[in-house]
Amino acid sequence: MIVTRFAPSPTGRLHVGNIRAALHNWMWARRHGGRFVLRIDDTDADRSEERFVEAIRADLDWLGLTPDVQVRQSERFALYQRRFDALVAAGRIYPAYESAQELDLKRKILLGRGLPPVYDRAALALTEADRGRLEAEGVRPHWRFRLDHDAPLAWDDLIRGPQSFDPATMSDPVVRRADGSWLYMLPSAIDDIDLGISHVVRGEDHVSNTALQLQMFAAMDAAAPAFAHTALLTGAEGKLSKRLGSLGVDHFREEGIEPAAVRSLLARLGTSDAVEPVVDPAPLIAGLDFARFGRAPARFDEVELQQVNARIVHQLDHDAVADRLPAGMGAAEWQAVRPNLSRVAEAADWWRVIEGPIDATPAEADRDYLAQAAQVAATLDWSAADIWSRLTTALKASSGRSGKALFLPLRRALTGLDHGPDMAALLPLIGRERTLARLGHAG
């Protein structure tokens, strides 16, 4: 079974980059009838907050990316401890006693010599007596995973293609701090094994992590998942933008952006496929193909998102938005004004146009014409479906006006605006009494 996971840390709100990763993992699981796992990476007790856990869940629900399984790393420490103990016994994890200051000095010396700042494995040369003496002095070790320098780190990335790293050029990663708390690398690999994760879709900033984790999977006698590393997002200006880190569900909701618009844009961003505004995500899911993702940074543009949003709004049925419309605004009114909206909230503006009162002061040259229009409108059968056509046809014959001179004064008098929804749809909603009142007032 295809099993994917999204693994945010509850140290803040989800931003657009997180959302994109969650979407890709959710889509891949849905495409293959698999499972989508939400793993809350809350091993850092000092920085993790319950309010962010709840916010992450709420944001995913709003986006329609509800997980099939939810787990929290803070509830899985016993599992991590068992795997850790086994790896220590096998010699793949070892204690190291350097302080942060000592490690920083080592890095600076290496860099000063023009060498890569790779950990020198000095801790492996310590004898049992050395370790005992250090611990007697109160020095508590941190723990590193020992890389096998004879085992090349290579995999075929679903997006980036063949990848290869030389483990001899990489530091043995720290997997546990001196206070016993866990870092990201080892618990994540343990969870991927335990949860049966088949595919990991994440940003390209994790590529080097993947290289290191491959040996962790091997050390635990487990097959590694397939990996797909997406190019990072850039802002509209073409550079990595700090603003992207502040754009999340709260911002999108405040801007009137629909979940379907976010899905539609982020699903295709960075691929060779055109963005397709769809309410139902089924076409996006069916078309997901990692081979169509490029390696160039993907450009996220809020203006493009707003354009996609307008096209989504134009597809929404009344039932989907009824709870966000003004009281009394029914399906007919929604259908009439929908083509002119870029956000659902804008429907309220057109509801005020329909219900009135409106502020319309006609040009002096149009007053007699509008008075004539009121007289004609009073004689028409308002139960007819084509009342606007009947009104304008009669006025054309009686006034001699045509084109803009015929239609624009009527629109202005009836709506207070020069543009808007099709008057053939709008006029029956304004109705006979309000129409006569507005035309008569204008005249």
Residues making up the annotated binding site for ATP are 242
Stretch (H or E) spanning 94: strand 93-96
CA 226 to chain CA mean position, Å:
22
Beta partners for residue 4, in sequence order: 36
Are 278 and 321 spatial neighbours (Cβ–Cβ below 8 Å)?
no
Tokens representing residue 399 in the block: 């006034």
Stretch (H or E) spanning 5: strand 3-6
How far are the Cα atoms of 5, 174, 193, 203, 211 from residue 79, in angstroms, in the given order? 18, 18, 11, 27, 23
Residues contacting 260, CB < 8 A, separation 6+: 64, 277, 278, 279, 281, 312
The three-class DSSP label of residue 267 is: helix
From CA 198, how far away is CA 200, in angstroms rounded? Answer: 7
Task: Please report, in range form, the residues annotated as the binding site.
Answer: 242
Place of tokens 């709260």: 250
How far are the Cα atoms of 134, 170, 173, 194 from residue 146, in angstroms, in the given order? 21, 10, 8, 22
